[in-house]
Amino acid sequence: MKRIGMLTSGGDCQALNAAMRGVVKTLVNAEEKIEIYGFLDGYKGLIYSRFQMLTGKDFSGILTKGGTILGTSRTPFKLIHEPDENGVDKVEAMKQTYHKLQLDCLVILGGNGTHKTANLLREEGLNVVTLPKTIDNDLWGTDMTFGFQSAVNIATDAIDCIHTTAASHGRVFIVEVMGHKVGWLTLNAGMAGGADIILLPEIPYDINKVIEKIEERDRNGSRFTIIAVAEGAISKEDAKLSKKDYKKKLENYSYPSVSYEVAAKIQEKTGREVRVTVPGHMQRGGSPCPYDRVFASRLGAEAGKLILDGQYGFMVGYKNREIVRVPLEEVAGKLKMVSPDAAIVQEAKLLGISFGD
């Protein structure tokens, strides 16, 4: 008998259910006797011992379902060692829940912050296997995360829809894309949607270069310009600020987001009409695309095999088109950024896309 704990932490995304289903189906098809403890709302469920006993039947019919059947929440790693409002030691509470239930393994699905905590639990002696979930595709040690391709599809659809109204009115349109501190989602959706300008956190922009591209399109007879802006995009001026000074600026920020600042500066300098569209959490929602269904299922199957093999302390990743096992200590605390010199960036420039640099 194997007792498996399972939780989803951080922001939700497509294919979380597909990945969990892959783990459970692998264990069930191996005729392994298992008990599944589904912890509710991420690490909070593990801290406060809130869980549901689940069976293989609970994971039937969820391949195409978005979100997570276990619920999720954010438990910031920087606060993990601080007691909660009732004085509960979070790390000690998670260990106690694990040992009280006599778990053989924790299966944890999440992104960067989630993996930091998962690695901490590994260091505390718990058996942990993780799966790479994030629409940002910024986890170290894997070429792809599940949820990313579904989010690219949604963000691309948004840009596609903006094209017709932008062309009709001859406007500059900005589509703000999620991605936190990295630009993978914006880069891929921008290229797929035919954006003329793509602004990424990793490539600080010069607003004058952005305007040059808009004016170049005007001279060439294009009545409109589409700009894909990552939510973490930053200007060259702001990139020169210290973290302290930049944080101070954000505290007194007069715009809802960077996209509105870019829009205001374009309007001020050119007199052009600019509109901003923010798809927001739509990018996390809905049914996973076929790619993510297959990909998450493969990752889940490998996680199930790790459990059957008694191999713990790994994230199941994807490198060079192969499913791989990556030691957790190599993943935690690292971000996979877009390099300004990356081939995909250089190829985008060959296509005439401006990055404002």
Concatenating the DSSP letter of every residue in 65-109 gives --S-TT------GGGTTS--TT---HHHHHHHHHHHTT-SEEEEE
Helix (H) or strand (E) holding 8: strand 2-8
**Distance between CA atoms of 268 and 150, rounded to whole angstroms?**
36
- Which entry of 41, 136, 196, 292 is annotated as an active-site residue? 136
Which residue pairs, CB below 8 angstroms and at least 24 apart, start in 338-345?
338/182, 338/183, 338/184, 338/187, 338/200, 338/202, 338/203, 339/202, 340/202, 340/203, 344/187, 344/191, 345/187, 345/203
Locus of tokens 């000074």: 245
List the end-to-end C-alpha distance of the chain, in Å, as a whole number.
58
Does 292 participate in catalysis according to the annotation? no
Identify the CA nearest to 59 among candidates 8, 6, 9, 20: 20
| Cβ atoms of 2 and 27 closer than 8 Å | yes
CA 231-235-237 angle, 5° bins: 145
Identify the CA nearest to 100 among candidates 31, 5, 6: 5
Q: Which residues are catalytic?
A: 136
